[in-house]
Structure 1
Amino acid sequence: MHNKNRIKNLFITILVALCCLPRYSTAQTVVTFAEGDIFEYATYYIGNFNIQTGESDVQMFRYKLSSEYGYENDVFVKLWFRISMISPALGIDADKTLIILETDPFQLRADLWIDSRDLSNATNTIYDVNGNAVNISSPPPIEIIEAGEFEQMLAAILTTGKLADGEYTFRVIVTSSDSEMGTFGNPHLVEKTFIVRTPSALSLESPGSSALADSSENEIFTTYPVFNWSSQACTGCDYYLRIAEFKSSFHSTLDEAIEDETTYPFNQSEGWKLVEGGVSTFQYPASGVYPLEMGRLYVWQVKVSRPTTSGNEDIISEIYLFKIAVLGREAESFGETQELGPLLQSLKQALGDGQFTALFGSNGDLEGYNPTGRFTLNGETVDETSATEIITQIINGNIPNIDVQVEE
């Protein structure tokens, strides 16, 4: 009888362990970064954040914290933020920690948007998506760069006011627990690495040059020129272009001409026109602008707008001058009496004068050819502008191999 009671009690104990304990273990907390990003800037100005405390007045990151298991049970989280760098210019050839910050635990009652500006030694109150107040505070940094290395970095910073050139990695981790004093686990990580470089000059390539003395050296043979320039690679940068006529009776310098009435943009209130797609090439359009005319001089200039921690920063190129030749003699050389359109002008630039004349000139296989405006690319109908853009990419070497078929 005694043994039966012991077996009965043991059975009850096992039943409680199997049935009751899992109820309490289901109070899991897994918090993730549901949405958001770490933001990249072309230039980081030291005045916008404090290397020694980690405080910043610009967004380094912004994410929405979300609990995968909802908020019926208590959810507490901590954020961990690290900035590290590699900078050969400073003699730092391996990944080196600049600063590590970690917040005190705080409770989530709903999804919460949080960004880097919320991390400071003071307590900040922000609000979740349901309007609940959330108090966030950060103790002093867990780790900062060593004093000697910081002094070297500071010297470089004081010279330019910017972070030194190098490779910077931003890492954010969120951990969670079901109690404020519990063990925080289930880490979720986001990380990005950016290259910070001192901006290089914005260089114009063609058409033209900065020389005003002999415009014949800058002569081109199309009223639909392709403008090319080069610049340091830059995420988030935008290019702007402006073109104006140089009138020798009114303008004594290239600056006077470019600041006068523009042919592009057509709307004089714009000043500059955005180059779509962030590319460093642009073909003068056939519509929506003042047409360029043969025998006239034109100037052009490019501006790049770079995102920095102090707002957008503009770098403006020098000014180039070019002249559009009278095309009558050249047109007659291959049996044409009208000016070439933008598509044929692009083809001529891609093929070169000799091959173009051999194909389209007198007795050439394509003598008298004139585009109909009907084009297909990989079986899909495209307009003349799209076809011209493809030829421009070939000219710039962006399409190394292409198979062209012409149907009669």
Structure 2
Amino acid sequence: MNKKIFTIILLFLFSNSEIAYGQCGDFRIEEDYFADQLIGFYINSIDINTGDTSIEYFRYRIIQENNQTDNLKANYSLIINSPDLGLSNFELMSGVIDISNISIPELVFSNVDINFDTQSIPGADFNSEESNLASISELEAIQSVILSSGKVPNGTYILNVTLRCSEDDSVVYDSISKTIEAYEPVFLDLLSPGGDIQDTSSTAIFNTMPLFTWSSDYCTQCNYGIRVCKYDPELHSSLADAIEDISVLPSNQNIDFYTLETNGSFAYPSQDAFDILPNNLYVWQIQRSYETTLGNQKNKSEIFVFKVSSFENLLDETTNEDPYKDVLKSLLGYQYQELFTNDGELTNFKVKNSTVVLNNQVVPISTLYDIIEQLNSGEAQLLEVEVE
């Protein structure tokens, strides 16, 4: 069983704490730096054969208040809570490191100073006195996930370190507990306004300062941005073409995405944006960015398009709509589409009164309902439709 994978995790995850002082010396541990902005930890950022890396994840210092002793012990444990692994409060590893031959008052060490063969850091020697790992079957299952995904699985990792006196384990110098949230996001879905291009009629809005909403998974260190552009089917070959054109948000064309302070919803601003105008189509997209050991990662959502209607047009459409359109549809069937739409002979035709001529007689248009019933029951048959 190759234990290097789990040593790599410890290198990734190496705050203040409760302090107790012993009689055999006074030590404390302080955090100089920790890469809290990282949420994705990829295995290929560390040499799997040596443990070497050029990326600094942490830097700590152990400070001795006096020179009473030149050695101490560091007890450590790593607890995992990972839905990806199906683990809750699971102790992956624990052990004891003997730090001896301390020759300077402050030991400063970083993960870049430590690899699989490290036996010393400037000013002291390191030696693994005790090491405990989970069972072979549990380790193999975890290792399989890590190797297949190439990264530390999403979850919360808790590293506990306690400095103790080498001569008396009951004497605790200092202790730390560091919680690392490694949750690299997966999905980013737009909700409203808009949708696909064929749905613009049903998803049309009237608000020229709309509320944009989207759904994404948990991410504490993610940054979000939004981009809104006008869409003109005569100028743009696709929604992707439109989103790359001049933006209405942000109005500053040197910025690709307008920075958002919150995640999940955003009201169109009155500043730093051009007006959204009625009777136009617009496209929008959300971008998410975050830091990993491979550098900055950016995810973009799909592109939604929405139509901004006007109340004036709505009133015009209502006024001009044929009140007997449904009657004609039921009477003519598929031939209605041929005659009244797609440049048919009766496109834009509307029944302007409530009577029709039937067998050379003027009768109420409601008589057509009787004919529709006869057609549906098979008592009558529509043979031909002629337009005069």
What TM-score bracket applies, with the shorter chain setting the length? 0.5 to 0.7
Q: 1:149 aligns with which of 114, 138, 150?
A: 138
Deviations 1:290-349 (A, max 9, x none): 222221111111111133232222221111111222255799xxxxxxxxxxxxxxxxxx
SS in structure 2 at match of 1:42: strand
- Which residue of 42, 46, 54 corresponds with 1:45? 42
Matches within 5 A, 1:91-106: 92=87, 95-98=90-93, 100=95, 102=97, 104-105=99-100
Q: Whole-Å Cα distance in 2 between the matches of residues 252 and 196 of structure 1?
A: 40
The match for 1:237 among 205, 209, 222 is: 222
The one of 158, 164, 179 aligned to 1:169: 158
Which residue is equivalent to 1:313? 297
Name the counterpart of 1:119.
114
Alignment size in residue pairs: 292
Q: Kindly report which structure 2 residues correspond to 1:13-92, keeping only aligned pairs within 5 A, or say none.
A: 28-33=25-30, 36-37=33-34, 39=36, 41-49=38-46, 58-67=55-64, 70-71=65-66, 76-87=71-82, 90=85, 92=87
Q: After superposition, what is the alpha-carbon deviation per residue over 1:49-90, rounded to whole angstroms, capped at 9, x for unaligned? A: 4789876654443334444xx446566555444333244654
Q: 1:146 to 1:322 in 2, by over 3 A?
A: same
Counterpart residue number, 2:280:
296
The structure richer in helix per residue is 1
One-letter amino acid of the structure 2 residue matched with residue 234 of structure 1 = C
Distance 1:141 1:311, change over 3 A: farther
In structure 1, runs of 5+ residues without a counterpart are 1-24, 126-132, 332-408
Q: Does structure 1 residue 205 correspond to structure 2 residue 191?
A: yes
Q: Which aligned runs of 4 or more in structure 1 are off by greater than 6 angstroms?
A: 50-55
**Are residues 245 and 29 of structure 1, via their aligned partners in 2, closer, same or farther at CA, if it must alter by over 3 Å?**
same
For 2:101 and 2:305, the matched residues in 1 are separated by: 62
SS in 2 for 1:321: strand
State how far apart, in whole Å, the 2-side matches of 1:72 and 1:57 are: 33
C-alpha distance in 1, partners of 2:113/2:96?
A: 12
CA offset at residue 141 of structure 1? 7.3
Change in Cα spacing, 1:206 to 1:29, as seen in structure 2 (3 Å) is same
Aligned-residue Cα RMSD (Å) equals 3.6
Structure 2 unaligned regions, length at least 5 = 1-21, 316-388
Q: CA deviation at 1:136?
A: 5.6
Give the whole-Å Cα distance in 2 for the aligned partners of 1:231 and 1:259: 23
Deviation at 1:174, TM superposition (A): 3.3
Q: 1:329 to 1:246 in 2, by over 3 A?
A: closer
% of aligned pairs identical?
26
Deviation of 1:172 after TM superposition, in Å, equals 2.9
Once the two structures are TM-superposed, the CA of residue 272 in structure 1 deviates from its matched residue by 1.7
2:190–2:302: 8 Å Cα contact kept in structure 1? yes
Cα distance change, pair 36–165 in 1 and its aligned pair in 2 (3 A): closer
Paired with 1:201 and 1:84, the residues of 2 have a C-alpha distance of 27
The structural deviation recorded for 1:258 is: 0.7
Paired amino acid for 1:154: Q
Larger Rg: 2
Distance 1:141 1:267 in 2: 59
Q: Is the Cα contact below 8 Å between 2:285 and 2:303 reproduced in 1? A: yes
8 Å CA contact retained: 2:24, 2:167: no
- Once the two structures are TM-superposed, the CA of residue 204 in structure 1 deviates from its matched residue by 0.9
C-alpha displacement of 1:138: 5.0
> Using a 3 Å threshold, how does the CA distance of structure 1 residues 196 and 284 change in structure 2: closer, same or farther?
same
* Distance 1:191-1:60 versus aligned 2 partners, 3 A rule: farther
For 1:398, the equivalent position in structure 2 comes to none
1:217 and 2:227 are equivalent in the alignment: no
Q: Which residue pairs with 2:349 in the alignment?
A: none
DSSP-derived class of the 1:224 partner: coil
